[in-house]
Structure 1
Amino acid sequence: MTDRYSRQELFKPIGKHGQQKMEAKHVLILGCGALGSANAEGLARAGIRKLTIIDRDYVEQSNLQRQQLFTEQDWLEQIPKAVAAKTRLQAINSTIKIEAYVLDASYASLEPLLKDVDLVIDATDNFDTRLMMNDLMQKLEKPWIFGSCVGSTGMSYTILPNVTPCLQCILDATPISGATCDSVGIIYPTVQMVVAHQQAEALKLLVEDFQALRTKMVTFDLWNNYYHTMNMERAKKNECPSCGENPTYRYLDYENQTKTEILCGRNTVQIRNKRHVSMVELAKRLTSVGKVKQNDFLVSVEYDSYRVVFFQDGRALIHGTNSIDAAKKIYYQLTG
């Protein structure tokens, strides 16, 4: 097995010493869709000690266009993504330890899994989970790498507690679209570009070459030939509730978490959170998904076999299912 990582070791910034450091590290990937599966494969091939994968979903046919670890058989058997990924990755590299968890990550479920983790890679599909993770990473002082992509656009940023602005600082300073893959689609090269940036930063952190870390946020649009880096130093705020001088970690509080309940006898699930959604912008985005109706109080859309109604107070009703998991999936597909 001495030749396995020889080409990686020939790269001077890594070398044999860096490879030894990498082989002692544990990385957790939150989400195993397009970004997660590609990141997981890259890290497995790089030879880290341990990889933990968390995902709540199973493989669907529409995933196969861009989620590179999965096969048609995984789709036909509805294998959970984390389980299918582990099987494939162990076939790629049997020398590393891989743990797969089929769960909807929350503060309570995620914190125990982070005890000996050296790095977290963001591959989630919604900002509710990201903001919870941002608070948790700041509290535990663990580095993580943000990544997001839709259509032909993407972005990535490396977040170091006590050093860089956190995700909350960035969201306050930089407007980010709420578009989703289900509303505007996505092309595979977009995924690969975000993963390339995330993977490069991950390798730097794992071999402890901190001086080489990129300090700017990367944004791009592959179809329209746009690439830009933004200096985010000024985005860091002393009063930030996540990374400021007196953090409150509000997204770890129960009151600020997304809540769900099945409405008795109505084949409907209600989802509530405190995240403000512009009704005008939401209605505009949803026109590409299905038939939209709007008034002064709500926006509704016909989506597949469901009817989803969004209210100004942050509630949403997903009509057509009694499954909380299915309702949350639909909700995040539509809202981002």
Structure 2
Amino acid sequence: MKDLDRYSRQILFPDIGVEGQLKLLKSRVAIVGVGALGTVIANHLVRSGVGYIRLIDRDVVELSNLQRQSLFDEEDAKLNLPKVIAAKNKLNQINSDVMVDAVIADLNLDNAEELLVDFDCLVDGTDNFMTRFLLNDVAVKYGIPWVHGAAVSSRGMFAVIKPGKTPCYRCLFPHVPSGRGETCDTIGVLSPITDIIGSFQAMEVMKIVVGAKTNPNLEQLDIWDSSILQMDISEGNNPNCPTCVQRQFDFLDRASNLQETYTTLCGRETVQIYFRNKQELDFIKLAEMLKKSGKVTGNKFLLRFSPNEDISIVLFKDGRVLIHGTNDIGTAKSLYSKYIGN
């Protein structure tokens, strides 16, 4: 029992005990996104003794991350370290018995199945809808439970999704949102909400691993208004759901009209993002949101947003986007997610 000494206070909790702790030590969890939510989740799961944790993220640490991304410090930002590497360094110091697998990658349809299968649980630490739909496709296809989470401004939400037992993510959100979403870089975020949501997510992961009853609700919180909304989703299955009923995995299918296409334009430092499922952008609403983060100009045909001197993002009415200043698709996706959202 000497090896379990560090978990003694957790073992005293009757719903975990020695048996539950042994399950945690043998478990495998993948966390997609190592930002505000992901760092909180990883911190708790490593301390709790989850045996193997895979971290997947494409970004590097920036100074503006430190306000809420709890595993990083100023040295990480100064060195421009990939988030998964900086997180792994900290987590190894917290619990060297846990295997932390750091994967520097943009999760997409080409690598999602390779990176996310053979796990007891998947966890959503992302900041965009498309990655969540992709995660849901993998989870349903392979029967892996996953925990959804999101936080922006003073608001957050989380839910547990168990394929075959609960509604899947596409049951709850049948369509990719047609409007552009709010992001931390356009309306901000308070660090306590990311701590709270990430902690709830980590708790639900632990329940899944030890076989305890998980939360049946889609929980929504606003810490500024001190409000909580609980929506029981246990009966929310869509009998016509394309994913969990028809087994149609559109976000893993390159031919699906729901896919996004990323193309580097020859001879130019520009990446084009093209949405097969076209939609008309509201330039007035979008400009109002973006002007908080940089310079906005445009006309009735396009909107140009410049967060700094090096980057320019041009948006067209049908949703097509040109990101000038980089020819790296991963960087372009990060910029799009950061300023435009999904």
Smaller-chain TM-score bracket: over 0.9
Counterparts in 2 of 1:144-183, with a 5 A limit? 144-172=146-174, 178-183=181-186
Counterparts in 2 of 1:1-336, with a 5 A limit? 1-172=3-174, 178-209=181-212, 212-244=213-245, 246-255=246-255, 256-274=258-276, 279-280=281-282, 281-293=285-297, 295-305=299-309, 306-336=311-341
Offset at 1:252? Answer: 0.8
AA in 2 matched with 1:316? V
Are residues 154 and 275 of structure 1, via their aligned partners in 2, closer, same or farther at CA, if it must alter by over 3 Å? farther
Are residues 227 and 38 of structure 1, via their aligned partners in 2, closer, same or farther at CA, if it must alter by over 3 Å? same
Offset at 1:21? Answer: 1.2
Offset at 1:289? Answer: 2.5
Offset at 1:46? Answer: 0.3
Residues 31 and 38 in structure 2, CA contact (< 8 A), matched pair in contact too: yes
Offset at 1:234? Answer: 4.8
SS in 2 for 1:213: coil
Question: In 2, distance between residues paired with 1:263 and 1:174?
Answer: 27
Offset at 1:254? Answer: 1.0
Write out per-residue CA displacement over residues 264-302 of structure 1, whole angstroms, 9 at most, x where no aligned residue: 233321111235555224344323333434554433322
Offset at 1:108? Answer: 2.6
Question: In 2, distance between residues paired with 1:274 and 1:284?
Answer: 26
Residues 217 and 232 in structure 2, CA contact (< 8 A), matched pair in contact too: yes
Are residues 322 and 103 of structure 1, via their aligned partners in 2, closer, same or farther at CA, if it must alter by over 3 Å? same
Question: In 2, distance between residues paired with 1:334 and 1:278?
Answer: 18
Write out per-residue CA displacement over residues 114-148 of structure 1, whole angstroms, 9 at most, x where no aligned residue: 33210001001211111111111111110000000
Greater alpha carbon shift after TM alignment, 74-83 vs 318-327:
318-327
Residues 85 and 102 in structure 2, CA contact (< 8 A), matched pair in contact too: yes
Gap runs ≥5 in structure 2 = none
AA in 2 matched with 1:253? D
Write out per-residue CA displacement over residues 148-190 of structure 1, whole angstroms, 9 at most, x where no aligned residue: 0011110001111012111122223998981000001111101
AA in 2 matched with 1:250? D
Residues 180 and 340 in structure 2, CA contact (< 8 A), matched pair in contact too: no
Offset at 1:93? Answer: 0.5
Gap runs ≥5 in structure 1 = none
Aligned residues: 333
Offset at 1:242? Answer: 1.2
Write out per-residue CA displacement over residues 31-70 of structure 1, whole angstroms, 9 at most, x where no aligned residue: 1111111111110000011111111111111111111111
- Computed over aligned residues only, the root mean square deviation of the Cα atoms, in angstroms, reads 2.0
AA in 2 matched with 1:301? F
AA in 2 matched with 1:158? V
SS in 2 for 1:2: helix
Are residues 301 and 214 of structure 1, via their aligned partners in 2, closer, same or farther at CA, if it must alter by over 3 Å? same
Instruction: Give the percent of matched residue pairs that are identical in Structure 1 and Structure 2.
Output: 40
